[in-house]
């Protein structure tokens, strides 16, 4: 639909006939420095400057980003001559990420967990999750990713997400590995923290699916419902339909399709709301996470029945996402059995053994 929402030029923006420098020594670098000053000032006000000094990696990343903004007018035009494109999918990922982190920090503060840990966790799982999501897609559709003739061209094609090409389940699986490493490193109960961040996970899913709608991926099957949608000739969906021979290149748009991206977005937001409301009533650590993920496994399986962008796998009619939904559902059922039946018994046993006889 709207893959590229707008572009920010490398040199300047013209507003009301006035040229305002953007990158380099411009408004972007000024805003970045102002934000950093505000964060440091707040930490100084709270007497936590020592926390900043103990985290040189964060300071280094922040400074490197500032240098990149300053050097952008020299390097950037070589890759994007018309300016930085703001993709609809990327914007939705950004909105989902920031909203999810904000929501989780508030819940963490209520539970006595430092909000900074949520930001650390977000950074720790975002990049591995994105790599996992892209890797899952690359394994599933290597012919769409590795289109170059040389190793360098294929690497650049792998990291180019401008045309979409990530799979949510791949991100969740790789992000889960990073999550447990983070919890082990920081000595945090993974089930307790999982309940705190569960609503945030599905807020991110909801916004991500809106991004899918803007990008034109994850499309549905042909239908004739009043709320069916079409994709124009410039969309990913249209290109896919032409490539598969479903429509002729002379067609102006795709057929009317199931709005599966909207279904998935609503599904994510509803699960997020339900998890957020259920949290105060939970009786076990891990209950919120387990029930939410089990619900998502079921709804994702059902929504896949309405999609037409994936073929059946392993000589069946089930798509790879349906197979993963089944696997995740079985694992989560085992987790819920542990949470509701085994964990409390193990805790009681440990308490009994610790009492002197």
Tens digit of each residue's pLDDT (9 = 90 or more) over 247-304: 888 888 899 999 999 999 999 999 999 999 999 999 889 999 999 999 999 999 999 9
- Domain interval for residue 43: 1-82
84 closest CA partner among 166, 11, 157: 11
* pLDDT for position 354: 45
* pLDDT for position 355: 43
Confirm whether 273 is domain-assigned: no
Q: Dihedral through CA 128, CA 131, CA 137, CA 140, nearest 10?
A: -80
* pLDDT for position 238: 86
Q: Whose structure tokens read 């569960």?
A: 198
Confirm whether 72 is domain-assigned: yes
Confirm whether 38 is domain-assigned: yes
Question: What is the enclosing helix (H) or strand (E) of 209?
Answer: helix 190-215
Confirm whether 59 is domain-assigned: yes
Number of H helices, E strands in the chain: 14, 4
* pLDDT for position 239: 85
Into how many domains does the chain fold? Answer: 1
Segments of the chain with pLDDT less than 70: 1-2, 49, 51-55, 57-58, 141, 143-145, 147-148, 153-169, 343-357
Centre a 10 Å sphere on the Cβ of residue 134 and count the other Cβ atoms it contains.
Answer: 21
Q: Is 284 annotated as a binding residue?
A: no
* pLDDT for position 326: 94
Confirm whether 234 is domain-assigned: no
Scored b (16 or more CB within 10 A) or e, 317-331 reads ebbbbbbbbeebbee
Confirm whether 37 is domain-assigned: yes
Confirm whether 54 is domain-assigned: yes
Q: How far apart are the C-alpha atoms of 134 and 214, rounded to whole Å?
A: 18
Per the DSSP assignment, residues forming a β-bridge with 220 are 307
Confirm whether 14 is domain-assigned: yes
Per the DSSP assignment, residues forming a β-bridge with 86 are 6
* pLDDT for position 320: 84
Centre a 10 Å sphere on the Cβ of residue 207 and count the other Cβ atoms it contains.
Answer: 22
Q: How far apart are the C-alpha atoms of 229 and 233, rounded to whole Å?
A: 13
Describe the crossing of helices 190-215 and 88-110 by its angle, rounded to 10 degrees: 160
């Amino acid at each position: 639909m709207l893959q590229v929402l707008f572009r920010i030029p490398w040199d300047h923006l013209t507003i009301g006939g006035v040229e305002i420098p953007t990158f380099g020594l411009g408004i972007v670098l000024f805003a970045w420095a102002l934000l950093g000053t505000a964060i440091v000032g707040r930490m100084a006000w709270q007497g936590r400057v020592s926390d900043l000094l103990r985290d040189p990696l964060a300071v280094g990343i922040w400074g490197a980003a500032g240098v990149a903004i300053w050097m952008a007018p020299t390097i950037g035009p070589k890759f994007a001559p018309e300016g930085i494109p703001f993709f609809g999918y990327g914007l939705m990922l950004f909105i989902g990420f920031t909203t999810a982190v904000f929501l989780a920090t508030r819940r963490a503060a209520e539970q006595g967990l430092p909000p900074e840990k949520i930001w650390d966790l977000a950074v720790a799982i975002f990049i591995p999750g994105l790599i996992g999501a892209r890797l899952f897609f690359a394994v599933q559709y290597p012919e769409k990713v590795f289109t170059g003739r040389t190793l360098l061209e294929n690497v650049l094609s792998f990291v180019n997400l401008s045309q979409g090409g990530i799979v949510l389940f791949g991100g969740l699986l790789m992000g889960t590995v990073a999550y447990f490493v983070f919890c082990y490193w920081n000595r945090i109960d993974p089930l307790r923290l999982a309940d705190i961040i569960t609503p945030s996970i599905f807020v991110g899913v909801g916004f991500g699916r809106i991004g899918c709608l803007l990008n034109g991926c994850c499309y549905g099957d042909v239908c004739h419902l009043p709320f069916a949608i079409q994709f124009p000739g410039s969309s990913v969906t249209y290109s896919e339909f032409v490539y598969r021979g479903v429509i002729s290149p002379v067609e102006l748009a795709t057929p009317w399709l199931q709005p599966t991206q909207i279904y998935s977005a609503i599904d994510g937001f509803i699960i997020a709301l339900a998890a957020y409301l259920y949290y105060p009533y939970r009786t076990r650590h891990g209950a919120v996470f387990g029930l939410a993920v089990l619900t998502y496994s079921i709804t994702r399986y059902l929504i896949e029945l309405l999609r037409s962008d994936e073929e059946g796998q392993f000589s069946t009619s089930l798509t790879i996402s349906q197979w993963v939904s089944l696997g995740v559902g079985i694992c989560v059922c085992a987790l819920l059995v542990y949470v509701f039946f085994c964990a409390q018994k193990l805790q009681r046993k440990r308490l009994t053994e610790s009492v002197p006889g």
